[in-house]
Amino acid sequence: MKSPFDIAGKVALITGSSRGIGRSIAETMAGLGAKVVVSSRKADACEEVAKAIRASGGEAAVIPCNISRKNEVEALVKGTKDKYGRIDVLVCNAAVNPAFGPMSEISDDAFDKIMGSNVKSNVWLCNLAIPDMAKQGGGSIVIISSIGGLRASPMIGTYGISKAADFALARNYAQEWGHKNIRVNCIAPGLIKTDFAKALWENEQLRKDRETKTPLRRLGEPHEIGGVAAFLASPAASYITGEVIVVDGGVTIAP
């Protein structure tokens, strides 16, 4: 019997995949036989990831992209199709958070940057990738959101708004394109030990407080998101769409 988790031969485009959660997703999917496109702003950082994947027997290509620039997003999708002929899996992982503080103090520029990179870029990516997925008979889109979209925060409120918007984005694309066998889901990680979240987990008091309030009593690791993304890309998740999969060690269900 063929494994329901098999994604061998599928083409997966993963934004923000030169480090952290994105890198974990690229490495996990490549390890399961997918052809992955590693993408972030810096080509050298992407090539380091691709080199490691190839050294482990996987297949990876590099296409740098700043997801806040529409022309680069268009080039990323086109470059993936030119290289591999198709896109079966799109992982929208790249995101920014240039503001740390109360929303009453956020500048217009920072607000626009967060919403542009974390929401609008995902709309661009989906609109560019979905039509060809529909012609191919289906596809899977995974948007990496955050439990910040489920909870209020005194310090990263606008980031949380952008991540809540991604929930709605996934639901709406799932509704619009389900009849073409295109599934769209979100993953909402809790606090994961990545460079992106370093300001939170490197602070010893903040870290201890979070660990105490988390049922599993620890922070998450990037590889614990990679497996969930690979599951959502696989036939095992063929009847899951429009959902938000929370991966947070239980922190959002704790009293």
Tell me the catalytic residues.
159
Cα distances from 97 to residues 31, 125, 227, in angstroms, run 30, 19, 25
> Alpha helix locations (H) across the chain?
20-31, 43-55, 70-84, 108-115, 121-136, 157-177, 198-201, 204-213, 223-233
Pairwise CA distance, residues 218 & 208, whole Å: 9
* Cα angle: 200, vertex 203, 209; to 5 degrees: 80
- Count how many Cα atoms sit within 13 Å of the Cα of residue 64 in the half-sphere of its side chain: 8
- CA 48, CA 41: separation in Å to the nearest integer? 13
